[in-house]
Structure 1
């Protein structure tokens, strides 16, 4: 036991959960996508469990077929975050906003206003956005990675410059003296980069945390450099402890290379779960979700077969594979999920049950009891693979309460999750330094 405690944020997705067909389950709220009261209810539950923040991912485009599955993101993260901010007191609010498809002044204004009205609980997940559909929505084409990351560095610099353009001691609002603000401490920034130009100043005083911390989610070398320079939090999607530890170490080294402390960056590993009284009940729920779309189930079975180098034609996918088949199976070296898929098959689970284990999801998945979930989180955390987790229930409607009421008490009893918020702001709760304006790297 190290004495350290993990950080946990909840991914809100579109109001449903990480499995986009769970909206059809009897216990689901079918119209959660448009019900901000439901978002508030989930946020208040997460706050009851002392989760550090809500995370709202976003891509400003329609990126999946909505014929029979739910959207991947909320209608608009800024509006959703604002709805939640006025109904909560402690939990952080982190939203994804593109550095490519936003203007620095507008974004700085939106996020700082929300940070002020939430009393210092906002964070910005700064992403470059690489979807052509988004570029088309903004009347342009997708730029190269070099251009997008070049703009990202300038965008964050400009936004932070604008945030700091209203001096920390400039807000006076003194009635008797008749002075609202000290204009000598509110100054333009005249930022001029290759991609971003803005004058400022931004007429908004600092929040209790100064300004929102930056989050980042790109695993590339450019993403690691951006995170090392600016980020207080990073969302990661590794599949093994070893992979996670290597990535975390690379981020910490990048922070040091940019004149910061390695502990200034907190890594949040993406993690999905289904909690039930037993593993069989949890698997039964996930099997039911798979059965909602037989055509997609067949496609997933074919994908699973390719992952382990087999052909499932002619076999009953609801029965375990013959042992002589499993001896011939080989994990696909180009798919990091394949070893786990083969491991589950070799444990005697059928191909359908193997899919129900979440082996082709883009996060590690735990299917089972609250104790099973707590054990997984503890193992990864104490192995130094991560600073915390970005958790995604299969279905928000009952998954958030299951985590808060069943998993959190186990983690608290083991001493690896806090029992009270460390402070009033997101920065305090994350354990990252106060910042106002552009950080001086010299």
Structure 2
């Protein structure tokens, strides 16, 4: 049995699942987008499986055609997580909020309020915004990349300072001496940067974990610096073990450069399982899920991945001998080698696509053992510290993962049997922090 244990996060999207066609699955609640009882059921199921955290990715824009697809985003992440905070006890509650279009005082107040309400289970995925349509919702434009990340540094530091604006023993609740709090221990932060500022303090005392845990998602040099300086958890999108190892090492190096212990930062690799009683049944499920997507467009895109001019008329046929001989995986798309590998097995193009070869995370469509095998291979190869699980459909996927996959991981000594404590910081194994991290504040941007 290994002493190293994986961290698991379960993704929430618009309420139905990670695949666009999840809302059509037999048995799915068609009102899941707005039905809080459904989200409570999913959260309690994940908590029953001792999953460390729930994660809501968010971009503040409606950026898709709803004619055939359900919304990708939650109706409002922080409000949804507040509902779940009252209906769960141990599982972490993490969501995205933009450093580009949100003021640090608002961020600090909202996330610390969630942290107090949940008794120390909140996490903030601090990311910049790069979607012009989202910027338009704030009457603005996307700033230049360097400026956007300079602002992100300022926002995160001011937020952390505001979180620490009450000393830990400032709240007295001393009835006998008529003293509610010690105002000498509740002080303004008075931080001014080039882009944002805040006087403070917050009107909120510390939570059981002190303050929310910071997460980060997004690659590149700028994103890596944000993660290395501030994050305890990082959402990554590697498609191969080699790529994952490289990303994880780069992350650990960034943490070390910032004066932190690299083990403090956990990289969660995105993963999209489809769980069924057999691989045949799993593939059939994914064919059904694909019925709402433009398969013609996907066939053409598959062609660019493997260097062939593919026609949608070939959707229900495999690649010909001549096509296979001419096919070459694109060096610019890490998914291409897997796409060609599946095509060479003789599947029709419809089935090649059903294998998830152009999904944004690796896909395993098969039994619970198949899913656990993939996770074990990546984890033991030190390609990640855990996984961010994007289930294809929520209404039956949460139960399938918790009841079938989690016990296998536990039997193999890869996943804990119970929560380490009541807070997200404890269950993630994150370092203790209250206010700014003194190891990195010396290099502060504001």
- TM-score normalized with structure 1 length: 0.98
Provide the residue aligned with 2:187 in structure 1: 187
CA distance in 2 between counterparts of 1:74 and 1:336 reads: 29
Indicate the SS of the match to 1:271. strand
Provide the residue aligned with 1:29 in structure 2: 29
Query: Which deviates more from structure 2 when the two are superposed, residues 370-379 or residues 13-22?
Result: 13-22
Residue 42, structure 1, aligned to residue 71, structure 2: no
Q: Tell me how far 1:306 sits from its aligned partner.
A: 2.0
Residue 319, structure 1, aligned to residue 317, structure 2: yes
Provide the residue aligned with 2:104 in structure 1: 104
CA distance in 2 between counterparts of 1:27 and 1:344 reads: 30
Q: Tell me how far 1:321 sits from its aligned partner.
A: 2.3
1:355-374 equivalences under 5 Å are: 355-374=353-372
Query: Which deviates more from structure 2 when the two are superposed, residues 1-10 or residues 338-347?
Result: 1-10
Q: Tell me how far 1:314 sits from its aligned partner.
A: 8.2
Provide the residue aligned with 1:389 in structure 2: 387
Contact conserved, 2:20 with 2:292, CA < 8 A, in 1? no
Query: Which deviates more from structure 2 when the two are superposed, residues 366-375 or residues 311-320?
Result: 311-320
Provide the residue aligned with 1:12 in structure 2: 12
Residues 302-339 of structure 1: CA distance to partner in whole angstroms, max 9, x if unpaired? 11122112233386432332333212111112111111
Query: Which deviates more from structure 2 when the two are superposed, residues 308-317 or residues 172-181?
Result: 308-317
Task: Kindly tell me the number of residue pairs found equivalent between the two proteins.
Answer: 440
1:290-369 equivalences under 5 Å are: 290-293=290-293, 296-313=294-311, 316-369=314-367
Residues 88-138 of structure 1: CA distance to partner in whole angstroms, max 9, x if unpaired? 000000010000111111111111111011110000000011010111111
Q: Tell me how far 1:218 sits from its aligned partner.
A: 1.4
Contact conserved, 1:2 with 1:382, CA < 8 A, in 2? no
Residues 276-322 of structure 1: CA distance to partner in whole angstroms, max 9, x if unpaired? 100000111111222345xx111111111221122333864323323
Q: Tell me how far 1:149 sits from its aligned partner.
A: 0.4
Contact conserved, 2:163 with 2:202, CA < 8 A, in 1? yes
Aligned-residue Cα RMSD (Å) equals: 1.1
Query: Which deviates more from structure 2 when the two are superposed, residues 342-351 or residues 314-323?
Result: 314-323
Indicate the SS of the match to 1:303. helix
Residue 415, structure 1, aligned to residue 419, structure 2: no
1:157-176 equivalences under 5 Å are: 157-176=157-176
Query: Which deviates more from structure 2 when the two are superposed, residues 99-108 or residues 48-57?
Result: 99-108
Is there any run of 5+ residues in structure 1 with no aligned partner, and where?
none
Q: Tell me how far 1:404 sits from its aligned partner.
A: 0.3
CA distance in 1 between counterparts of 2:55 and 2:314 reads: 40
CA distance in 1 between counterparts of 2:390 and 2:60 reads: 21
Q: Tell me how far 1:12 sits from its aligned partner.
A: 0.6
1:215-364 equivalences under 5 Å are: 215-293=215-293, 296-313=294-311, 316-364=314-362
Query: Which deviates more from structure 2 when the two are superposed, residues 27-36 or residues 156-165?
Result: 27-36
CA distance in 1 between counterparts of 2:307 and 2:160 reads: 50
Q: Tell me how far 1:213 sits from its aligned partner.
A: 1.0
CA distance in 2 between counterparts of 1:313 and 1:16 reads: 31
CA distance in 2 between counterparts of 1:313 and 1:113 reads: 53
Residue 434, structure 1, aligned to residue 441, structure 2: no
CA distance in 2 between counterparts of 1:219 and 1:399 reads: 29
CA distance in 2 between counterparts of 1:115 and 1:314 reads: 50
Is there any run of 5+ residues in structure 2 with no aligned partner, and where?
none
